[in-house]
Amino acid sequence: MSEAISPQNTPYPVNIEAGETYHWCACGQSKNQPYCDGSHQGTDFEPLAFTAEKTETAYLCGCKKTGNTPFCDGTHDK
C-alpha cells in the first residue's frame, strides 16, 4: 500500500490538551480515527506523533492528504 485510504472527506474535530502527545493515523486504516490503532503494521506507513501546544478543539485531517499533517488544510475540498 503506497497511498493512504481516506476514511472521510471532512476533518475530525477533537479536543486536545496542552502537553499531551497524540498519534495521528497516517494510513487511514485505523478503526479509531483519527488516531492510530496499529492497523498500519505491515505497510509503509507510520503514525505521526504530535504534542498539543495548547488545549483546544483541533481539526485533524480525515482525507489523509493534508499538507499540514496532522491538521486539516482544506485539501479535501479540492
- Of 23, 11, 20, 26, which is closest to residue 56 (Cα–Cα)? 20
Q: How far apart are CA 33 and CA 10, in angstroms?
A: 12
C-alpha cell at 52: 498539543
Per-residue confidence (pLDDT) for residue 2, from 0 to 100: 79
Give percent of the chain with pLDDT exceeding 90: 94
- Of 48, 30, 47, 52, which is closest to residue 39 (Cα–Cα)? 30
pTM for the model stands at 0.93
